Amino acid sequence: MTPPARKPAPSPPLWRQAFDAAERAVAPRAEDLVRSEYFALATALVRRAQTVAGESVQGLSARVWHLVNLPAGSDITRLRTQIGSLDREVRRLTLQLESERRRASTTPPAPTTSTTTEDSDADRAQPADGARPRPARRRAQRPARP
Amino acid sequence: MLDRVRRDVERNALRARNGIKLVAGVDRPGVGQTPKDVVWQRGRTQLWHYRNDPETYAGVRYGPPLLIVFSLISKSYILDLTPGNSFVEQLLKAGFDVYLLDWGEPDERDAENRLEDYADDYIPAGIDRILELSGADEVNLFGYCFGGNLALLYAAHHPDAPLRSLTVLATPVDFRHMGPLADIFSVGGMDVRSVLGSDGNVPPSVVVQGFRSLTPTAEVTRYVTLWERLWNDEYVASYQAMTGWSDDHVPFPGAAAQETADMLVRNNGMLTDRLTVGGDPVHLADIQVPFLTVRANRDHIVPPDATSPLIDLVGSPDKHELCLDAGHMGLVVGRTAAKTTVPTIIDFVRRRSDALPDDAQEA
């Protein structure tokens, strides 16, 4: 028994066919344009011009505000940047501290033995070669399974 | 003829109804609905643990846990778009314990964040927390888009990382092929500082404009297709969810953006092996864990030429590549994702995971 023939999908309306034809003609050209070196250079240039213009206006308005002893937008931006830097430093330190704490808590404590006075003194001694205990390291990345 | 007129009248009535709904913004599909808990937080960054109750997700459980590292410039709900069209949901159904590192919405406090903050601090801290919570001694790491780059930097800079496997999706390594987004920095010589907002980050509007410039006519085509299919409720719901996400970006931390432009775009560091994290040189060849890279051959955001060299750069003896006939988002949402991408990833990770005993599953 042969399966029933699938009903063909209805063709799109005429206006859509016209749009698709126009899109097929325009899209590759538009994509070539935005992927060209000239477009990249022009975008960068326009952006640079905008930045220069923005900075000039900002500098002028900052001078006006400073004349009347008030902080300008650029001062606030500078403060926000400084707060951001400080916040990042604190966050990184907190994360590193947490990580060290976790590592310390997962490291097994040194075995305790009955000690004599001589042993107690020896416990505090440093090895002659200057070697110090290293923080515990995790085991290496697991190699591929056979 | 009469049938056609009747159909057109009905469709126009539906178009009017759905058009009003779209404009009014009502009846939007809920996104990111899979239940989850925040199990760790630092700054704007959160570690989410998706609930995998045995009543909802029965069957064999696999370990170690799976950690997803998301991109820095978009929102992570694309991986959990809508119920039934969710990458995370599929991973949970497959028996994995899923965690996701969400970077939140960066503000001026994140402007100084560099790539090392993510590769050396946040990802290791997130993994530590997962190991603490799950009792496992390793994780399966998974990176999506730019999150894949962060995962690669982490794995390369920490050869002793507790990783069972590494999977990256749509992750670029040859930035010469990234199109106008990269060209304006490499060819045009544009300085990232010229696009920074007052908070020191690259504003989401700039990111959206950058993506739109990749396909200049797509915006018009999008509206034309919407008009044509506005009568179809299913299409409208999917349109709202997808376009909602593609227009919904987050600021890109300024210092990380600067580093990306210098190291990854201008120096093409991933391909030319000129990567540094926190001042240390790192090499992708140092990655030795089982590795899978997934790329899409119709991806207009991260073109195939930008992702294809990755497989040869990683040093893992057990490495695989999967190239799919899909677009950038089609890798994680929609039919291709559900039928091909996710099952292949699940199969790859499952083969490198352990079936957990029943008592561990109950725990």
As a dihedral over the C-alpha atoms of residue B112, residue B114, residue B120, residue B121, rounded to 10 degrees, the angle is 30
DSSP state of B167: E
How far is it, in rounded angstroms, from Cα B320 to Cα B348? 9
Gyration radius of chain A over CA positions: 35
The pLDDT of residue A131: 41
A25 part of a folded domain: yes
The pLDDT of residue B360: 57
The pLDDT of residue B358: 67
pLDDT over threshold 50, residue A65 = yes
Mutate to test the interface with B, among A88, A139, A145 (most CBs of B within 10 A): A88
Which CATH number characterizes residue B340's domain?
A: 3.40.50.1820
The pLDDT of residue B117: 94
A46 part of a folded domain: yes
Residue A125: CA atoms inside 13 Å, Cβ hemisphere, count? 8
pLDDT over threshold 70, residue A140 = no
Q: Which helix or strand (DSSP H or E) is residue B204 part of?
A: helix B204-214
| Shared-domain flag, residues A63 and A84 | no
B267 part of a folded domain: no
How far is it, in rounded angstroms, from Cα B11 to Cα B228? 10
| Shared-domain flag, residues A37 and A76 | no
Name the residue among B111, B180, B193 with its Cβ closest to that of A35: B180
A30 part of a folded domain: yes
B263 part of a folded domain: no
Work out the pLDDT band at A31, boundaries 50, 70, 90: confident
| Shared-domain flag, residues A56 and A81 | no
User: Does A23 sit within 8 Å of B187, measured CB to CB?
Assistant: no
Mutate to test the interface with B, among A141, A142, A145 (most CBs of B within 10 A): A141
A146 part of a folded domain: no
B229 part of a folded domain: no
B234 part of a folded domain: no
The pLDDT of residue B335: 81
Rounded to 5 degrees, φ, ψ at B166 are -135, 125
A65 Cα to chain B: minimum distance (Å): 18
Closest residue in A to B300 (Cα) is A31
The pLDDT of residue B361: 52
Residue B334: CA atoms inside 13 Å, Cβ hemisphere, count? 13
The residue among B19, B37, B21, B39 whose CA lies nearest residue B29 is B21
B266 part of a folded domain: no
A19 part of a folded domain: yes
| Shared-domain flag, residues A36 and A47 | yes
A100 part of a folded domain: yes
How far is it, in rounded angstroms, from Cα A112 to Cα B88? 48
The pLDDT of residue B69: 97
What's at B219, amino acid-wise? E
CB B77 within 8 A of CB B111: no
Q: What are the residue ranges in chain B where pLDDT is below 50? A: 363
A114 Cα to chain B: minimum distance (Å): 33
Name the residue among B194, B228, B318 with its Cβ closest to that of A51: B194
pTM reported for the whole predicted model: 0.84
Q: Which domain holds residue B51?
A: 31-181+274-362
Q: How many domains does chain A have?
A: 2
B56 part of a folded domain: yes
Work out the pLDDT band at A99, boundaries 50, 70, 90: confident
pLDDT in tens, B170-196: 999 999 988 888 888 888 788 888 888
| Shared-domain flag, residues A32 and A75 | no
| Shared-domain flag, residues A35 and A80 | no
Q: Which domain holds residue A91?
A: 71-106
B150 part of a folded domain: yes
A44 at B interface, C-beta within 8 A: yes
| Shared-domain flag, residues A36 and A19 | yes
B5 part of a folded domain: no
pLDDT over threshold 70, residue A111 = no
Q: Which residue has the higher pLDDT, A4 or B152?
A: B152
Q: How many domains does chain B have?
A: 1
Six-digit token pair at B14? Answer: 């539906």
The residue among B87, B92, B100, B77 whose CA lies nearest residue B240 is B77
The proportion of chain A whose per-residue pLDDT surpasses 90, expressed as a percent, equals: 20
